[in-house]
Amino acid sequence: MSEILLYSFRRCPYAMRARLALAYCGVPVRIIEVSLKAKPAEMLALSPKGTVPVLSVKGVVIDESLAIMQWALAQHDPDDWLLQGDPALLALIAENDHGFKYQLDRYKYAERYPEQPMQAYRAAGEVFLRKLEQLLAKREYLLADHPSLADMALAPFARQFAHVDREWFAAAPYPRLQRWLERFVQSPLFIGVMAKPHVLL
């Protein structure tokens, strides 16, 4: 079997969720940590858009994080992260990727978007946080009684939002979301995928 390669950047939430799925499914993969200031020619040859993650497997290139997660789960999904194909999974992930991420970027990098104060971008992002808090009122995880693709696809972005102003997030009225996020960052799976890699290009 030819080697499976993942070009990644440790702190990128898209790369995080790809690594989470690959680690969970147990497919052997070599992770290549990329310097975003000096992207390797090998990665750019595979995916000219130059963003991480990029998965190369058997001559096939997958350069979207959700597609990498879905590929991994098609290989092995022992704990039913796919929830037997529940359409609510992809709907919630799309809301994160196409709505919440927009507000997250403006909240995190508010100096680049002076049209509104940081607090306005945070308030816009909180609309999604409140939805997650409501989902977690029903169970320990977002859509099931166990982790699913939705939890793993969203948690890296919720973590990034929380880290913009940690004191604010700790005091915010989202106790279930705070517990969910803490459980995620303390999980052996997350700790494992955040270990500093040995290969640096």
| Superfamily the domain 5-78+189-193 falls into | Glutaredoxin (3.40.30.10)
Q: How far apart are the first and last CA of the chain?
A: 24
CB distance 152 to 21 below 8 Å: yes
Alpha carbons 123 and 135: distance in angstroms, whole number: 19
Here the tokens at position 181 are 């996020």
Please state the length of the chain: 201
Amino acid at 11: R
Distance, in Å, from the CA atom of 192 to the CA atom of 201, rounded to the nearest integer, reads 21
The residue behind tokens 């992930």 is 93
H or E element, residue 46: helix 41-46
Asked if the model's pLDDT at residue 198 lies above 60, the reply is no
CATH of domain 83-187: 1.20.1050.10
**Is 144's pLDDT higher than 90?**
yes
Mean pLDDT of the chain: 94
Q: Which residue did the predictor score with more confidence, 199 or 28?
A: 28
Q: Could you tell me which residues come within 8 angstroms of residue 35 by beta carbon, excluding any fewer than 6 positions away?
A: 200, 201
Q: Where are the alpha helices (DSSP H) in 76-148?
A: 87-95, 101-108, 118-136
Residue 196: what pLDDT?
80
DSSP for 134-193, please give it: HHHTTSSSSSSSS--HHHHHHHHHHHHHHHHSHHHHHHSS-HHHHHHHHHHHTSHHHHHH
Task: Convert the pLDDT of each residue in 71-109 to its tens digit.
Answer: 999 999 999 999 999 999 999 999 999 999 999 999 999
The whole-model pTM stands at 0.94
| Separation between Cα atoms, residue 12 and residue 59, nearest integer Å | 25
Where do the structural domains in the chain lie, given as residue ranges? Answer: 5-78+189-193, 83-187
* Residue 36 banded pLDDT, cuts 50, 70, 90: confident
Cα 159 from Cα 111, distance rounded (Å): 20
Peptide bond before residue 114 is cis, with ω within 30 degrees of 0: no
For residues 198 and 61, the model is more confident at 61
